[in-house]
Amino acid sequence: MNLNVMERNQMTQSSVTNNKFAYSVEEISEQTSLSKAFLRNEIRAGHLKANRFGRRVLVLSENLQNYLKGENQNAK
């Protein structure tokens, strides 16, 4: 029975997060078919929490999952 629970958890995990810690806007756009402009607007509006590292903007895996579930409203 434990295997079924583990298998179910693996199957319900989004294909967007494949054990990466953070994603670029470009990676999220490719995997979700949301435009880069839309994602950047969501980040600016505070709906999708992102971190800046120099010029790179990265979204932590946890923040992306919360956003896709609708749990990350006004994250700023």
Domains in the chain: how many in total? 1
- Look at residue 61 and tell me if it is in a domain: yes
Asked if 4 and 38 count as a contact pair (C-beta separation under 8 A), the reply is no
- 34 or 16, greater pLDDT: 34
Are β-strands 56-60 and 22-24 bridged in parallel, bridged antiparallel, or unpaired? Answer: antiparallel
- Look at residue 42 and tell me if it is in a domain: yes
* pLDDT tens profile 28-41: 999 999 999 999 99
Phi, psi dihedral angles at 17 (to 5 degrees)? -100, 105
Q: pLDDT band for 16, please (50, 70, 90 cuts).
A: low
The CATH number linked to 34 is: 1.10.1660
pTM: 0.69
Spatial distance between the Cα atoms of 4 and 21, rounded to a whole number of angstroms: 26
- Look at residue 76 and tell me if it is in a domain: no
- Look at residue 26 and tell me if it is in a domain: yes
The range of the structural domain enclosing residue 20 comes to 2-69
- Look at residue 75 and tell me if it is in a domain: no
Spatial distance between the Cα atoms of 27 and 20, rounded to a whole number of angstroms: 11
